Amino acid sequence: MARSTVMTRLGTLVAALLLALGLLAPGGPGGLLAPGGPASVAAEARIPADVPTFASAVPASTTQVVRTISSRRWCRQVYCTVTQAWRKDAAGWHLVRQFRSSIGAKGWGKQREGDRRSPVGVFRIKVTFSTRSPGPGPMPWRQRRATSVVSNTPGPNYNTWLEVPGVRSGNRPSMRWGWVVDYNHVRLAPGQGAQPVPGKGSGIFYHTSKPGHRWSPTAGCTQVGNPQGMRWLERWLRPGADPRVVQRL
């Protein structure tokens, strides 16, 4: 076989290999893509696999996220979840810690009062709470007293934090540490802020568990079953981090 024929075939094979690898631009002068050309732009536009799915859904100012997602690590019920603490720095988002948790008995997708589902989306923390004073962390805080409720009764005080004389369950063990999720315009006082949508759901918390029921489903809240885990989260959060709660994303 003539030397020119061998070289021609070798050149054809090399060109085919470069084209398959995306390094050769068919029809372009010289064939090779220049740095910054279409292939480079496409590569830069891809989202790295280690970027969490919620990253584009939270504000740019947010550097702390408490995220709860479904998990089969511990059980296979629809209410079995894991709650994660995420932190963002110059290098990106990092998973700091995670805790076994549970949500509403019927899983995700809250639509109405009493449906026993937990809401999906991105939410602010309205206020943290604990049953003892002072609060365990630097976030805005309120003490849960025996008389404390977030009302689910239809009317002007629906989804509003109230102190109700005669109520004795507001400081029960599952309310030792936690926070109020800013779902459905929850109010911290009657008439304060936008009006909640009647019947959409009320009293959505992150809270810990009652003794002997660490991994039970909830009525729609998120329960971090280990009380020390819930306390750690409350101490970890910082107002300057503009934190968000992310549900299912």
pLDDT at site 50: 76
Q: Average the pLDDT over 215-222 and give the result.
A: 97
pLDDT at site 36: 31
Token code pair at residue 104:
């509403």
Averaged pLDDT of the chain: 86
Helix (H) or strand (E) holding 10: helix 3-20
pLDDT at site 179: 98
Q: Average the pLDDT over 90-106 and give the result.
A: 97
Q: What is the pLDDT of residues 130-152, one digit of tens each?
A: 999 999 999 999 999 999 999 99
pLDDT at site 14: 43
Coil vs helix vs strand at 239: helix
pTM beyond 0.85: no
Cβ burial 20-49 (10 Å sphere, 16+ → b, else e): eeeebbeeeeeeebeeeeeeeeeeeeeeee
Q: Average the pLDDT over 180-185 and give the result.
A: 98
Find out whether the peptide bond into 134 is cis, omega within 30 degrees of 0. yes
φ, ψ (nearest 5 deg) of residue 178: 165, -165
pLDDT at site 145: 98
Question: CA-based Rg of the chain, rounded to a whole angstrom?
Answer: 26
The residues, ordered by sequence, that sit 6+ positions from 240 with a Cβ below 8 Å of its Cβ are: none
Coil vs helix vs strand at 68: strand
pLDDT at site 7: 42
pLDDT of 185 above 70: yes
pLDDT at site 34: 31
Q: If pLDDT is split at 50, 70 and 90, which confidence band does 39 have?
A: very low
